[in-house]
Homo-oligomer: A and B are copies of this chain.
């Protein structure tokens, strides 16, 4: 691929056949890896983060640190927004960030947060009213895959929006699913994935808790289940944390309080029943209310009384009366 143009200069646009100038807002666990993947692919991304010094630290190895979202937006063709939720995206684009006003017409916003699909659909219309394109592009895979350019993007949007992005998406993701010609489909598939991920984590916790209650060796249970029809990606991944007694948050309990809340919000809009999702949501809220909201999401297992968890002194002993 040809070298990216110098950021800040009057940038050639993707429509000219040149790579677009890319800006990325939000250098968190996912965003920092995505920005590094862009840089590795030959883009020199313009970056911004609300935390002082984070953008400057990134730009020491290439790219440009911007002092504000508006400064970043004014100089780029594609703005990748990798913030926590819809409220922060709203602030980046229409609030204090002011990106929607600062972007030149014809630029494209790549919206990577997990949000209510109906909000994403409305966002596309609001951006188009300002002459901007949008890709609905939630991401999946975790920080390690983001850093390696190996994450998954669940995207939808107009052909013109995809065209505007040039090689930007492929530079960040191993798989770019194209799920529809308007915003919304990407977010819907992401929401369904979060439904399954959340229910599977809670189910893994429930199963492991029952095994512990019954005196089954947890390592043996893990070995059997991960080789049987009861396995899930989440059981295999998260129950390793429980076996190790390590609740360092790779993804926190409160993330699933939020994401299963989005699942239920989307379904409520069409009055659709989700018995397992609502039950799992209650379990994560129970864990959060008990003080585990910032622990790893596998800490949802701590809602089960009367068991002793591996690798820690925590958890009630069998019998549950502090003996």
Q: Using CB atoms and an 8 Å cutoff, list the residues of chain A in contact with chain B.
A: 117, 140-142, 152, 154, 175, 177, 179-180, 185, 188-189, 191-197, 199-200, 202-204, 206-211, 213-217, 220-221, 223-225, 227-235, 237, 263, 266-267, 270, 272-277, 279-280, 282-283, 304, 306
Contacts and interface: CB of A to CB of B under 8 A. Distances in A.
Contacts of A304: 272-273
B206 A276 contact: yes
A237 B230 CA distance: 11
A197 B272 contact: no
Contacts of A237: 229
A231 B189 CA distance: 13
A232 B230 CA distance: 8
Contacts of A141: 228-229
Contact of A266 (B206, B214, B234): B214
Contacts of A194: 230
Nearest to A235: B196
A207 to B, nearest CB: 5
Query: Which 6 A-B residue pairs are closest in the complex by CB-CB distance?
Result: A196-B230, A232-B232, A193-B230, A199-B203, A279-B279, A197-B230
Given A210-B272, A210-B274, A192 B267 contact: no
A188 B217 CA distance: 11
B272 A213 contact: yes
Contacts of A204: 196
B207 A196 contact: yes
A222 B223 CA distance: 27
A221 B192 contact: yes
Contacts of A175: 227
A150 to B, nearest CB: 12
Contacts of A225: 189, 192-193, 196
Contacts of A223: 177
B210 A152 contact: no
B192 A196 contact: no
Contact of A207 (B195, B202, B203, B233): B195
A311 B141 CA distance: 31
A117 B216 CA distance: 12
A124 to B, nearest CB: 16
A206 B210 contact: no
Contacts of A217: 179-180
A178 to B, nearest CB: 9
A234 to B, nearest CB: 7
A229 B233 contact: yes
Given A192-B214, A273-B304, A275-B279, 9 more contacts: A152-B227, A152-B228, A154-B224, A192-B221, A193-B224, A194-B230, A199-B199, A206-B277, A270-B306
